[in-house]
Structure 1
C-alpha cells in the first residue's frame, strides 16, 4: 500500500483551510462491505467513530482535556458550519473509549447531528459520563471494535471515518498494520490525533516520534491524515480542526512526505517489542 504521509499543522492557516473546505463537496468513498444497508438506514454525509484512549499512560488531566476538546469541538460554530455545508447537512457520530484488547466501551451510541440543538445534546451526553482508566494500549483492538459499529449504525454515510486519539503505540492485541489495512480495504478512513504532551516515560512504554508512528502505522484510507497535539493550549483547537476536516472530507494544510509503506520511518511493531522485552514472550499479538 503506497501512500503519502500527512503532517497536519494547527495554527494561523486554520481559517483559510476551513473556508476552502466548506466550499467543496465531500467526496464519496466506496461503501464498506459491512455497511448498514438496511432500507431504514438514514443517509448522512459521514458516519464518524470517535475512539478515545483511556489507558493508564493518559493521566486524569490529559483525559479531562481530551474529553473537553471533543465537547468544545462538537459544539463549535465552525464544526456546525461544516455539517451544514454537506450534501445531506447531517452526520452520525458515536464516542468510544478504549485501552487494552478487550477494553472498549461505547460512552455514547450513534447520534445524529444536524444542527446546534443536536450538537449540544451530544456534547452534554458525553460530558455527563464518568471517566475511567484501564491497562494496556491496543490501537488494533480499538480499530477492530470501531469497525463493527458501522454494521448496524442505523445510518448510511457517504463516508465512514474512525477518528483515533491516543498517547502511545500498540502494545497488545493484534498487530496494528494488518488490522489497519483490512479496515481500509473496506473503504473506511482512519485518521489520527496522537497526543505528545508529556516527556517520554519509558515506565509507561512511551515512544519517540509517536506522530510518525501514527502516520506510518495507524492511519489509512481516502484522505487520511494526522494532527499531532504537542501543547495543552492547542488541544481544543486541534480537535476542532480535525473534526471539521473530517466532516468536510478534506486534509489539513500539510507538508507531504513521499513514502512507501514498504519502508516505514519507524517500526510498526515497536510497542509490541517493548512490551515483550519488559514482560516476556507471553503476549499474543495475532
Structure 2
C-alpha cells in the first residue's frame, strides 16, 4: 500500500526515522541483487498538484505506462553496457508532499519492464493539491538516489537522473535554486518534461530553474494529450544517454 512521505522543510539532509524506514523497505527487491551495476538509476517524478485534473492524471499515467511498453524504450534499456536500469516513481505537489508509489525496480528483460509498466498504469493518485514545489521533488528524488547506493552492498549506477514533469512553476516553499545546486553537485542530472497547457512559457522556466547537470535536457508537451509521445521520446534519450537534437 503506497504511503505518503512528508519531509519537514528544516530537515534537508536527514530523513526522520519513519521516512527512512519507508524509503528503505521498498528497496528489498533491489537489495536482493546487490553488487550489480546498472547503466542508469532513474527517478520519475510526476506532478499531482491541484492544476492536474483527473482526466489529465489518467493521460499522464497511461503515458508513462505506454512509454515503457514501447519497443524503442525497451531497446534503449538493453542498449547500455550492463543492459539494465533501475527505476522508481513518485508523485509530488507541495514542498513536503511526495508519495513513493513504485519503489526501486530492476529493469532488464521484457517481463520485468512489462510488470513495471502495469504498475505505473495502475498507480493511484494520492495527492490532489498542496501547491507546486519542484524544490521538494528534487530533494525527495535525491534522497531516493542516496538510499539506492547506500549500505554495505550498494547497487552501483553509471548515471543518476531525476526526471521531473509538471505544468506549473513554484508557488509554495522555496525557489528550486538551492536544491538544484545541491543535486547537481552530487553528480545527479535533472531533466524536465514541462506541460504547456496552462502556462505556454513554462518550458522557459524549466530551462532556467529546473534542469541541470551533465547532459541535462527537457522535452516539452503542448498539453496532457501530448504527454505520451513526449515521455516516450524523453525516455529513449534519457535511458540511452543520447543528447536531444535541437529542433
Give the TM bin, normalised by the shorter chain: 0.7 to 0.9
Query: Residue 46 of structure 2 aligns with which residue?
Result: 52
CA distance in 2, matches of 1:79, 1:208: 28
Moved over 6 A (4+): none
The answer to which structure, 1 or 2, has the higher relative contact order (CA under 8 A, 6+ apart) is 1
From 92, 106, 113, give the equivalent of 1:112: 106
User: 1:47–1:155: 8 Å Cα contact kept in structure 2?
Assistant: no
Residues 1:91 and 2:85 aligned together: yes
- Cα deviation, residue 152, structure 1: 2.1
Structure 1 residues 181 and 235, CA gap change in structure 2 (3 angstroms): same
Report which of the two structures shows the higher radius of gyration computed on alpha carbons.
1
- Cα deviation, residue 62, structure 1: 1.1
Give RMSD over aligned pairs: 1.5
User: 2:68–2:113: 8 Å Cα contact kept in structure 1?
Assistant: yes
For these two proteins, the number of residue pairs brought into alignment is 209
Query: Residue 168 of structure 1 aligns with which residue?
Result: 168
Q: TM-score, normalised by structure 2?
A: 0.81
String of CA shifts for 1:182-225, please: whole Å, max 9, x gaps: 1001110000000112xx4xxxxxx5510000001100001100
Alignment of 1:62-81 (within 5 A): 62-81=56-75
From 144, 161, 169, give the equivalent of 1:149: 144
Query: Residue 227 of structure 1 aligns with which residue?
Result: 219
Matched residue SS, 1:131: coil
User: 2:90–2:101: 8 Å Cα contact kept in structure 1?
Assistant: yes
Give the gaps of 5 or more residues in structure 2: 1-32, 149-153
CA distance in 1, matches of 2:223, 2:138: 26
Give the gaps of 5 or more residues in structure 1: 1-38, 201-206, 256-286
From 232, 241, 248, give the equivalent of 2:240: 248
Matched residue SS, 2:183: helix
CA distance in 2, matches of 1:222, 1:123: 27
CA distance in 2, matches of 1:150, 1:157: 10
User: 2:93–2:130: 8 Å Cα contact kept in structure 1?
Assistant: yes
